Amino acid sequence: MNTYAYIEKQDQEVFDALQGEESREASGLELIPSENYVSKAVREANGSVLTNKYAEGYPGRRYYGGQDYTDAVEQLAIDRACKLFNCKYANVQPHSGAPANVAMYFALMEPGDTVLGMDLSHGGHLTHGHPTTSINKVFNFVRYKMKDVATGEIDYDELRQVALEHKPKIILAGFSAYSRELEYQKFVDIAREVGAYAVADMAHIAGLIAGGVAKNPFDYGFDVITSTTHKTLRGPRGGLILVREDKEIAQKINKAVFPGLQGGPHMNTIAAKAVAFGEALHPSFREYGKQILKNAKAMEKVFLDANVRLLGGGTDNHLLLADVYGSLGVTGQEAEDVLDEIGITLNKNMIADETRTAMDPSGIRFGTPALTTRGMKEDEATRIAEIMISVLKDKGNQQLKEGYKAEIEALCAAFPVPESFV
């Protein structure tokens, strides 16, 4: 069956690009920890008739007519999100993770107020106040770091001292390239001490939390959680804001999303979120979460046995950050390029206290959500890690790379991308 039959008839150039991506994903391994494969059901919803409909406002309070089915699907998404994460309120309209964070900032703060978040080079995210971002011009961002890069331990004493000094309105727990579990209670205790909101950005680990294999910040008293809906949650590319129980906070966030930041929500994507949340509520999703962690631990062992330095000393979640420049003399960009040649996709990444540039850093970031979606387990994860290290140690050996490329293609053929998860 041709998924893109109408595009093929109408626009050959776009069709060729889509077919190329289908082939790339089928024949190669996706190790970027923020990427995954969605089910055909999610893809159908994302490409559905709901893309036609404007639905400014919220269920039951829209600005346009004809909202019977948009209201139904958005309420489904809200209810399922609340059930997944054990909270009272959810906003499913943010277009992605970055606008979810921006809306949350405007809901909880006034311009000039302070946010305390994780330093980008120690695992934080651009939206946590990096100087290059526009939001950094509106709010004041101060940062905390790891105390021990070898173990990944956050310097909670420093975090508390910075909080006492700067009196932030928000203390933000969350990351983009951090492989250990955070001590959520310490964040909450410090936030309460200085009168700040405790907010978690769980974009990377939302699926692990939903699957019950990672701690839920709400269980420790966090006020708000922001997230994406792809990555480990295995839904469409989109954003999500959750509120534990405070109705006033939820109302502020709703106003900050619409009309404060966005116009009409993308109802086709919200339908896809509803489908994905339904999949995550299925018992099989818990097994998926457990296997993600097992596969990450299998890869961790191979890298540690090969004396490749892992930031944080290893992983408690779905991702690993390796110092390939310090360990193997290969830059992050070189590693990304050479692994791409054999059908392994990952991303270059800065490491803590980086001495190189962001575009050619010392590290690589990789993870196990997508390969686990394909049904791969510890044996496959181990072999993939072995291949990665072997080719990075001998990156100029073309014959070696050709052999590994054939092996990767055979592995992908044995573990095709599934069409359904339930």
Kindly name the residue from 231, 273, 395, 401 that is annotated as catalytic: 231
Asked if residue 203 lies in contact with residue 228, where contact means CB atoms within 8 angstroms, the answer is yes
Q: Is the pLDDT of residue 1 over 90?
A: no
Whether 299 and 262 have beta carbons less than 8 Å apart is answered as: no
* pLDDT of 334 over the 60 cut: yes
Look at residue 148 and give its three-state secondary structure: strand
Domain made up of 286-414: CATH architecture: Alpha-Beta Complex (3.90)
Catalytic residue among 54, 156, 158, 345: 54
DSSP string of 353-399?
T--SBTTB-SEEEEESHHHHHTT--HHHHHHHHHHHHHHHHTTT-HH
Q: What is the dihedral of CA 331, 334, 340, 345, to 10 degrees?
A: 20
Name the band, by pLDDT with cuts 50, 70 and 90, for residue 202: very high
pLDDT digits (tens, 9 = 90+) for 316-326: 999 999 999 99
* Predicted pLDDT at 130: 80
pLDDT at residue 129, as a whole number = 78
Rounded mean pLDDT, 176-182: 89
- Band (pLDDT 50/70/90 cuts) for residue 188 is very high
pLDDT at 364 over 80: yes
* In the chain, where the domains are located: 44-280, 286-414
> pLDDT class for 133, splitting at 50, 70, 90?
confident
CA-to-CA distance for 221 and 1, rounded, in angstroms?
49
Residues 255-273 pLDDT 10s = 999 999 999 999 999 999 9
Whether the per-residue pLDDT at 121 is higher than 80: the answer is no
User: Is the distance from CB of 103 to CB of 170 less than 8 angstroms?
Assistant: no
The average confidence (pLDDT) of the chain is 96
Residue 2 has pLDDT above 80, yes or no: no
**Catalytic residue among 201, 336, 354, 380, which?**
201
Q: What is the mean pLDDT of residues 151-160?
A: 93
Known catalytic residue at 231: yes
Catalytic residue among 25, 56, 181, 378: 56
Q: Is the pTM of this model over 0.75?
A: yes
Question: In 3D, which of 410, 412, 387, 217 has the Cα closest to residue 306?
Answer: 387
Strand partners, 30: 345
Q: How far is CA 89 from CA 3, 195, 253, 329, in A?
A: 36, 22, 10, 49
Q: Which residues, in sequence order, are CB contacts of 159 under 8 Å at separation 6+? A: 116, 144, 171, 186, 187, 190
85-95 pLDDT, tens digit per residue, is: 999 999 999 99
Q: Nearest Cα to 375, choosing from 306, 288, 271?
A: 288
> Has 237 been annotated as catalytic?
yes
Please give the biggest Cα pair distance in the chain: 63
For residue 259, whether the previous peptide bond is cis, meaning omega lies within 30 degrees of 0, is yes
- Residue 345: phi and psi, rounded to 5, are -105, 125
Q: What pLDDT sits at residue 122?
A: 78
Say if CB 187 and CB 171 are below 8 A apart: yes
What is the topology classification, in CATH, of domain 44-280?
Answer: Aspartate Aminotransferase; domain 2 (3.40.640)
Is 54 one of the annotated active-site residues of the chain?
yes
Q: Which of 114, 127, 226, 228 is flagged as catalytic?
A: 228
Instruction: State the catalytic residue, choosing from 43, 147, 237, 297.
Output: 237
- Residue 56 bears catalytic tag: yes
Give the whole-angstrom CA distance, residue 413 versus residue 6. Answer: 28
pLDDT tens, 349-361? Answer: 999 989 999 899 9
